Structure 1
Amino acid sequence: MNLLKATGTIGGLTLVSRVAGFAREMLMSRVMGASWQADAFFVAFRLPNTFRRLFGEGAFSAGFVPLYSQRLQGENGEVEAKNFSEEVLAVFLPTLIVFTLVFEVIMGPFVFLISGYHGEKLALATFLTRVTFPYLLLISLVSLFSGILNSLARFTAAAFAPALLNLAMLTALIFVPVGGTVTATALAIAVGAGGILQLGLLLAACKRAGIVLKLRRPQMTPGVRQFVRVVVPATLGAGVYQISAFIDTFFLTRIGTGAMSYFNYADRLNQLPLGVIGAALGTAILPQVSKHVGANEPGKAARVQGQAAELAMLLCLPAALALAVSAQPLVSALFQGGRFNAEDARLTALTLSIIVLGLPAYVLVKVLTPGFYARQDTATPVKIAVFVLIATVVLNFILIPPFGIAGLASAIAITSWLNCLMLYVILHRRGHFRIEGWLASRVIRQLIAGALMVAALYAIRMVLGGWFDGSVGKRMAGVVALVGGGMAVYFPAVWLLGGTDKEELRSLVRRRRPYTDVA
């Protein structure tokens, strides 16, 4: 499979979803502002998404995809893989139903514990979370069917599915623009509708691929036991990360009104390159690495990771640097207006400029982690995650009191790099992956190109300074100038400096040969 083509397919369709997400956030900032009702909704939206990452990304990225891919390579591959999927679904679905029902019952105390809200704000946050929480059940099933399609190298439906959630929420904002509790309720209902649409799309895509799963009676078959042995440590590891997300929520809700909103809007910009680059690469390389490891081809598995790391840094470095330098004009142009004022924009931009400093590390984690998952080693990432969680908690307590939301953003950026470094060191010591000379050389040249781009961005900001304080039209024009100017400097500089293989880029444009050589 062509890594660039697969990543481009996933990343391109993810970009569609991210653009829809930006439209959603731009409209939401103007309709909801940084009000306490907006904070309550973001808590309600964050909780099921946190558990989604626990079950979906934890269970299926770590366990299901490698095991499904390995069964596909067998003598009766498609039959074995389908039976395995049905066995897992038979156990997974009842577990999700029970989990959802339990949390619906205990939602009030749980939201209070996480948020510290009281009175009307607690009541609204609890109600909204009860409405949004079934999304967890729907999106976890989406993760299962996405894993099947990704293992079959059918990435389109799974990559596009998140756009349906954004479109559902956009619809709620367009038709219920009054703000406050009414719009927050409409958004919560739209979350569930988006989940139904996503599941419907994935079921249809699986049917077109000839995959129709039957519901069976739950049984602990050998395949399910193997799945559980792999998934439990991975889920615990993902659970550690999600505990970190809960801790972030805990601190954000106590920083003051608006902090949840500031972080949400900043993270939306941060998630654009993360989703388009990091998630796309992680999704594309896991089946390949698993296949090479299963075929006892460690050199080829390491090569795939090296190519992914080069591509990640080629695209992620300029994104991170540009977001850090241009945070204020970007946030002002995209979100400021209506109920979202200049001070809200300033605090959001401050948060963004700090949190994106950890973006390259977070993307590289998506490249490094498959090196463990493909070998069914989910315990090591758990141990690293526990250490990183402890470091996050310590840094939050140290940095948030004096610096507020900027301290929380700093803790996230620092621990992202710590996580990346620890994963790499262990892979290197085990001989599974190391930074070869060709990769180090290209990354250094990418950094030089990035420095030239930063200088150009500062120059554009100085020349067009007045534009970023003017009308919405002028602000948007200024952003276009920044984005266009940055790209016009970075990519030619990378090309001239040799920051990537020119022949490989030519082959991508001409679509003549796959991205496989690493001269």
Structure 2
Amino acid sequence: MTNQEQKPSRSFAGIAGIVAAATLISKIFGLVRQQAIAAAFGVGAAATAYSYAYVIPGFLFTILGGVNGPIHSAIVSVLAKRKREEAASLVETVTTLVAGLLLLVTVAQIFLADAIIDIVGHGLDATTRAIAVQQIQIMAPMALFSGLIGIGFGTLNAANQYWLLSISPLLSSITVVIGIVILSMQHGKDIIKPEYAFIGGMVLAWGTLAGAILQWLVQLVVQWRLGLGTLRLRFDFRSPGVQEAIKIMTPATISSGMMPINFATVLYFASPIPGAAAGFNYANLLVQTPLGIISNIILLPLLPIFAQLAAPEHWPDLKLRIRQGLLLTAFTMLPLGALMVVLAVPIVKIVYERGAFTQDATQLVSSLLVAYGIGMFAYLGRDVLVRVFYALGDGQTPFRISTFNIFLNAALDWALVGPFGAPGLVLATVGVNCSSMLMLLFLLDRKLNGLPWREWSVPILGLTAGSVVAGLASFLTLVICQQLLGKEGLLILLLQLCISGFVGIAVFAAIASWMRIPEVNSFISRLRQRFLKK
């Protein structure tokens, strides 16, 4: 849908405000969901089995059905360049194709559940393995719904519909929490006992599937009302728009499919480490909560813009937009990562340490959170660059890099798990993301006839240094607060976290303001004007 065919476009800051509010609500519910799982099951058999069973259905749901995933990105890239009246037939044809393929994936998961769990969880005990096998069979249809949701996300994004796009993932969290609440009402504190692990595991699986179905249905109603496609079967696979979507989507999907392979490799090395698999989920949620909000704020408005600037005559403007994306990523992710590194223990204690989640679990998850924090900039920076290649109609380059990274990830897992344990597996992922980002930048430099390396790198290095200083200031503040107030009590921990975090943010804000980065100052100014006006 070209700009002329749409309603007057919102400003970048205006879209960011909508996305930020909706995504924040969704992420809060996601955090509540993970807190409920932690309190009910800790790092026991139900949660551990769920971590392994969720590898394929969960990654398909997150990658194919997620905002900024390959299907979403492909649909936006194609529809942003076409008239609105072409959308319905294109969306229906792509839906027919994707649904047919993912239906086969669904059936395969049901029949191959035992083999899948034996591959990714070779060290699991019999009880955990049995729970995981049944969980993956229950959640297998999520493969089908992931594709349908991804198509809907792309369609709504191209139509400038951002609210539902960002808030609908909370439905999955709500259904899981409801299931855990009902289970707790029926069995009380007994649900933490090992004999209730199977029941708890089934609640997690059915709740997750129900949330996926509900998310798709809500999205489908809006899509129908906008006249952007129905469930009609359409086989116009040779149309130019569908061919372009397939050209972008196929390598992008295969490339994204490398991620569960990488995570399965991580789980393979983690399976002998008690509680590590569940610990990854808890730590990852703490990272994904702010990361998901910020990535949506940055990527959702930029992706259609990247697609509209894909022609060679627009490349100077495209480079400015890429710089904007990378600098906003650095401005948000670098200080956030620094704060997560130095405040990992109080964060985990406040969020999780209750019920079945013990102090030992806190030590495990906080160590993983430190490792995740180190690589937050590379994680989102890589995603910005991948979307540029998708907008340029090039899904092959990210695919080739992802293929190489499978072997790099396995090598780093093997090398780092020995000296660092479970955190070493996260550091391996960080190394892979850094490698991907550097390769994407190098190839983008060749593709766009050169990039202004100095203009991009100097402010990013300055923001990196500012983040280190902010992290040190936050850590020293935490130490002083602990000496004055002690280390126990939820309110005391929360007060220490707020004070230490505020000091770190204030120090970083002062440094960033002194640097006078135009993209950052302009973005903040527009956000401030928008919210003050409201």
Asked if Structure 1 and Structure 2 have the same fold, meaning a TM-score greater than 0.5 normalized by the shorter chain, the answer is yes
* Alpha-carbon offset, residue 319 of structure 1: 0.5
Q: 1:464 aligns with which of 451, 471, 481?
A: 481
Aligned counterparts, 1:355-366, within 5 A: 355-366=372-383
Distance 1:468 1:13, change over 3 A: farther
Partner of 1:40: 49
Distance 1:8 1:440, change over 3 A: farther
Partner of 2:170: 163
Q: Is the 8 A contact 1:7 1:281 kept in 2?
A: yes
Distance 1:407 1:389, change over 3 A: same
Partner of 2:467: 450
* Alpha-carbon offset, residue 281 of structure 1: 2.1
Partner of 1:510: 529
Partner of 1:412: 429
2:250 maps to a residue whose letter is V
* Alpha-carbon offset, residue 362 of structure 1: 0.8
Q: 1:99 aligns with which of 92, 100, 105?
A: 105
Distance 1:468 1:285, change over 3 A: farther
* TM-score, normalised via structure 2 length: 0.89
- In the alignment, the residues of structure 2 paired with residue 246 and residue 2 of structure 1 have an alpha-carbon distance, to the nearest angstrom, of 40
* Alpha-carbon offset, residue 459 of structure 1: 1.8
Q: Does 1:69 align with 2:76?
A: no
1:15 maps to a residue whose letter is L
Q: Is the 8 A contact 1:91 1:219 kept in 2?
A: no
Q: Is the 8 A contact 2:98 2:147 kept in 1?
A: no
Partner of 1:148: 155
2:412 maps to a residue whose letter is L
Per-residue CA shift, 1:374-401, capped at 9, x if unaligned?
Answer: 1111111111111222111111111113
RMSD (Å) for aligned C-alpha atoms:
2.2
Partner of 2:71: 60
- In the alignment, the residues of structure 1 paired with residue 125 and residue 365 of structure 2 have an alpha-carbon distance, to the nearest angstrom, of 25
Q: 1:492 aligns with which of 497, 506, 510?
A: 510
Q: Which runs of 5+ in 2 are unaligned?
A: 1-9, 185-190
- In the alignment, the residues of structure 2 paired with residue 151 and residue 364 of structure 1 have an alpha-carbon distance, to the nearest angstrom, of 22
Distance 1:201 1:338, change over 3 A: same
Distance 1:119 1:503, change over 3 A: closer
2:199 maps to a residue whose letter is V
Partner of 2:90: 84
Q: Which runs of 5+ in 1 are unaligned?
A: 72-76, 513-519
Partner of 1:50: 59
Partner of 2:317: 300
Q: Does 1:343 align with 2:360?
A: yes
- In the alignment, the residues of structure 1 paired with residue 172 and residue 365 of structure 2 have an alpha-carbon distance, to the nearest angstrom, of 24
Per-residue CA shift, 1:480-515, capped at 9, x if unaligned?
Answer: 222223223322332234245535532332249xxx
Secondary structure class of the residue paired with 1:464: helix
Secondary structure class of the residue paired with 2:233: coil
1:88 maps to a residue whose letter is V
Q: Is the 8 A contact 1:53 1:238 kept in 2?
A: no
Q: Does 1:115 align with 2:121?
A: yes
Per-residue CA shift, 1:416-442, capped at 9, x if unaligned?
Answer: 111111101111122267345554443
- In the alignment, the residues of structure 2 paired with residue 326 and residue 42 of structure 1 have an alpha-carbon distance, to the nearest angstrom, of 25
Per-residue CA shift, 1:322-347, capped at 9, x if unaligned?
Answer: 00111111112211122111111011
Distance 1:93 1:502, change over 3 A: closer
* Alpha-carbon offset, residue 144 of structure 1: 0.6
Partner of 1:14: 23
- In the alignment, the residues of structure 2 paired with residue 275 and residue 209 of structure 1 have an alpha-carbon distance, to the nearest angstrom, of 26
1:159 maps to a residue whose letter is S
* Alpha-carbon offset, residue 472 of structure 1: 2.2
Distance 1:435 1:324, change over 3 A: farther
Deviating more after overlay: 291-300 vs 237-246:
291-300
Secondary structure class of the residue paired with 1:34: coil
1:7 maps to a residue whose letter is A
1:408 maps to a residue whose letter is L
Q: Is the 8 A contact 1:362 1:416 kept in 2?
A: yes
- In the alignment, the residues of structure 2 paired with residue 506 and residue 134 of structure 1 have an alpha-carbon distance, to the nearest angstrom, of 45
Q: Is the 8 A contact 1:139 1:198 kept in 2?
A: no
Q: Does 1:266 align with 2:283?
A: yes
- In the alignment, the residues of structure 2 paired with residue 260 and residue 395 of structure 1 have an alpha-carbon distance, to the nearest angstrom, of 18
Distance 1:37 1:502, change over 3 A: closer
Partner of 1:74: none
2:79 maps to a residue whose letter is Y
* Alpha-carbon offset, residue 232 of structure 1: 2.1
- In the alignment, the residues of structure 2 paired with residue 262 and residue 106 of structure 1 have an alpha-carbon distance, to the nearest angstrom, of 26
Secondary structure class of the residue paired with 2:81: helix
Q: Percent identity?
A: 21
- In the alignment, the residues of structure 2 paired with residue 503 and residue 292 of structure 1 have an alpha-carbon distance, to the nearest angstrom, of 21
Q: Is the 8 A contact 1:100 1:137 kept in 2?
A: yes
1:101 maps to a residue whose letter is V
* TM-score, normalised via structure 1 length: 0.91
Task: Give the length in aligned residue pairs.
Answer: 506
Per-residue CA shift, 1:275-316, capped at 9, x if unaligned?
Answer: 112244223212111111148411222221111111111111
1:64 maps to a residue whose letter is I
